[in-house]
Amino acid sequence: MSKQRQDGAKQEQLDAYRVHDEGRKLTTNQGLKVSEDEFSLKAGVRGPTIMEDFHFREKMTHFDHERIPERVVHARGYAAHGVFEVYESMEPYTKADFLKEKGKKTPVFVRFSTVAGSKGSGELARDVRGFATKFYTQEGNYDLVGNNIPVFFIQDAIKFPDFIHAVKPEPHNGIPQAASAHDTFWDFVAHNQETAHMVMWQMSDRAIPRSFRMMEGFGVHTFRFVNDKGEATFVKFHWKPTLGVHSTVWDEAQKINGKNPDFHRQDLYEAIENGDFPEFELGVQLIAEEDADSFDYDILDPTKLWPEEEVPVKKIGKMTLNRNVDNVFAETEQVAFHPGHVVPGIDFTNDPLLQGRLFSYTDTQLIRLGGPNFHELPINRPVCPFHNNQRDGYGRHTINVGQVSYHKNGLAHNTPEPASPEQGGYEHYQEKVDGRKIRARSESFNDHFSQAVLFWNSMSEAEKQHIIDAFSFELGKVKNEDVQQQVVNMFANVSLDMVQEIAENIGVTAPKEGGSPITKTSPALSQENTVKTAATRNVAVLLDKGFHTKEVISVINRLVKQGIRPVVVANKRGEVAGADGQTIEASESFLTADSVLYDAVYVAGSRQMSEKFSQQATHFIHEAFHHFKPIGSSNDGATLLEDSGITHAKGVILESSVNDFVDAFSEAIAIHRFWDREVHF
């Protein structure tokens, strides 16, 4: 284990709830020892089961009630514990205690998710990813409930049920699962053009991440920091992964969904078990109140981002995920996030999407977790004390002692805490609000395309091609031609070149007019400019009987030294003997492993490769090549690369010296993908 786990206040609290069942005698829930757990109580060995069998009834009843409703969105999720540590005090901007002191640590719990699919759906869907963080601060829980895309589809919460209905499986036939490639989603897009910017992101590589560990996170909305003096600053939150932002390719993603629908959760789980603790730096973009109107977009519009080149991201701390959950249901399923869980120093704005979320999240927990006491579930409990006059309800755990359950009272002397810095009561920012009641959208929210264009302009050629391919796939699955045409016409506002290619691919009329005069770019939006490192990447080592022992062992050891994870794949699992008789254990066979599950392929081969090995390895290499992955061989395996005709291509590494090979191969792994192979799907 490379790094030490730091268990804080939250883990100590959870310890009180953790139960270890190993070696324990079975009892009923009432503590009665049971003598038998395989046979129900019957009237005679071949007779009917009888009502009196309280043990059977208890066991079966509990089982019958095991399921709770899945989240209406973000049902498919996976979570981990960790710690957040402050780099730089934010005291000038916020009185939030957990951000005030350099070095201060706060326990966190993070749940990553897809949005549209149900609880058992494949994790490589083309979709937004949820990135929800609960900070267990000394002033109460603060939830930063964000996504991996910095903007959203709609501008007003009242449209959320419509949007989700449009993207979920169509109600008349329940198809398709976890996919936006169908008529109702695109019909919604065409009729709600505020979706344009977000749809560009969704059609980009951001929507098919390589790993939860390699995604950015965004608070999306504009929030407020409020300092001790009551002064406010507008703030947007970012999570920046230290491993950089990386994606899969769409053909690969679809195959992963079949080969390993748990690909993302397994990646997160194993990284944490291996001590490769995922890290994300917390960044803030700040805009002073007086500057709020000086941008060419409305800073309260959730379909707009603040380009990082204009409003820099200040990194203020780092989150390290260092502990897997013990029980997925108790922790990952029962965790209840809410953008309204704030602490003093963090406040809301009038973003109409955020305002609506403040209602929805408690409401949804009430149905999902079955009543108003979900805050008492171990994963949801704050680490600071909590007291009030709320009482009773389903599943109440707390035994509130005493006769008083009301405010104001003279008998118990429990009062609110004034909002002074010393006493710490929460005070809402005293924003002056004055207006007529009106159902309308501010005109300043009307520009739906400028930032969609900014995004498009900022993409590399490969990223642009992926967007065109994604649109062509998604619209290609749409059956209604009017919908296809409307979408193509709509996105002519972004780029004429883009839609002309899409139109051609799907067989509708290519718009002749459109495009945008905007030439601005934001390099931070392109994944080409992200952090590049080979650390924690997995490499399939394809090995056949009679391999060059010294060389292969040396390559494997050197890769491991660089933090890379080699996985040996052979014709069969188990020991594979090298040329000198020494063996290496293959943990996977060609039946259990698949090219799409690895970041790179090292073809170790052997001097006399078997027919079976050559065939399987060639297929493996072929797929890796078409997914633009690094492929390498130091010696024996080279013939397979030569036979595949790929040795001229970038990212195909052939070196006979082990040192040179490992250096070049790791560099290629860090680059991640070699897009200039010019292969399109």
Minimum distance from CB of 416 to ligand HDE (Å)?
A: 27
147 is catalytic: yes
Site for ligand HDE contains 73 (CB under 6 A): yes
Using CB under 6 A, which of 83, 124, 145, 190 touches ligand HDE?
A: 145
For ligand HDE, give the closer residue by CB, 157 or 652. 157
β-bridge mates for residue 632, sequence order: 602, 653
Distance CA 638, CA 312 (A): 47
Using CB under 6 A, which of 169, 176, 340, 356 touches ligand HDE?
A: 356
Site for ligand HDE contains 74 (CB under 6 A): yes
Using CB under 6 A, which of 10, 55, 76, 77 touches ligand HDE?
A: 77
Burial readout 64-87 (b: 16 or more C-beta within 10 A, e: otherwise) = eeeeeebbebbbbbbbbbbbbbbe
Using CB under 6 A, which of 10, 14, 55, 71 touches ligand HDE?
A: 71
Minimum distance from CB of 369 to ligand HDE (Å)?
A: 9
274 is catalytic: no
Using CB under 6 A, which of 146, 209, 278, 378 touches ligand HDE?
A: 146
CB 111 within 8 A of CB 119: no
Nearest to 131 by CA among 235, 213, 234: 213
Scanning 5-13, 361-369, 401-409, 494-502 for contacts with ligand HDE by CB under 6 A, the matching segment is 361-369
Using CA atoms of 18, 20, 26, 30 in order, give the dihedral in degrees to the nearest 10. -20
User: Of residues 55, 141, 147, 672, which has the active-site annotation?
Assistant: 147
Minimum distance from CB of 149 to ligand HDE (Å)?
A: 8
Q: Which long-range contacts (CB under 8 A, 24 or more apart) does 460-463 make?
A: 460/526, 460/528, 460/675, 461/675, 462/528, 462/675, 462/676, 463/204, 463/205, 463/526, 463/527, 463/528
Site for ligand HDE contains 596 (CB under 6 A): no
Q: What are the residues whose beta carbons fall under 8 Å from the beta carbon of 269, sequence distance 6 or more? A: 78, 324
Using CB under 6 A, which of 113, 349, 472, 634 touches ligand HDE?
A: 113
Site map (CB under 6 A) of ligand HDE, residues 312-341, x = contact: -----------------------x-x----
Alpha carbon of residue 525 to chain centroid: 18
Using CB under 6 A, which of 360, 460, 554, 582 touches ligand HDE?
A: 360
CA angle 353/355/359 to nearest 5° reads 110
Distance CA 241, CA 567 (A): 24
Binding-site residue numbers for heme are 71, 111, 160, 357, 361, 368
Distance CA 429, CA 438 (A): 23
- 210-249 residues in contact with ligand HDE (CB under 6 A) are 220
Site for ligand HDE contains 257 (CB under 6 A): no
Site for ligand HDE contains 147 (CB under 6 A): yes
Minimum distance from CB of 306 to ligand HDE (Å)?
A: 15
Is beta strand 140-147 parallel, antiparallel or unpaired with respect to 631-633?
unpaired
Site for ligand HDE contains 651 (CB under 6 A): no
Site for ligand HDE contains 96 (CB under 6 A): no
Q: CA–CA distance from 171 to each of 9, 76, 159, 161, 280 (Å)?
A: 46, 20, 18, 14, 39
For ligand HDE, give the closer residue by CB, 237 or 277. 237
Using CB under 6 A, which of 89, 364, 465, 538 touches ligand HDE?
A: 364
Site for ligand HDE contains 150 (CB under 6 A): no
CB 201 within 8 A of CB 454: no
At 120, list the tokens. 């058992």
Scanning 360-368, 379-387, 473-481, 673-681 for contacts with ligand HDE by CB under 6 A, the matching segment is 360-368
Scanning 205-213, 261-269, 350-358, 474-482 for contacts with ligand HDE by CB under 6 A, the matching segment is 350-358
Is beta strand 565-570 parallel, antiparallel or unpaired with respect to 588-589?
parallel
- Residue sitting closest to ligand HDE (CB): 130
Site for ligand HDE contains 130 (CB under 6 A): yes
CB 456 within 8 A of CB 495: yes
β-bridge mates for residue 79, sequence order: 111
Per DSSP, helices labelled H in 449-595 are 450-458, 461-476, 481-491, 496-506, 549-561
Q: What are the residues whose beta carbons fall under 8 Å from the beta carbon of 219, sequence distance 6 or more? A: 144, 146, 236, 237, 238
For ligand HDE, give the closer residue by CB, 159 or 548. 159
Site map (CB under 6 A) of ligand HDE, residues 151-170, x = contact: -x----x--x----------
Footprint of ligand HDE (CB under 6 A): 71-74, 77, 111, 113, 130, 132, 145-147, 152, 157, 160, 220, 335, 337, 353, 356-357, 360-361, 364-365
Report the catalytic residues: 74, 147
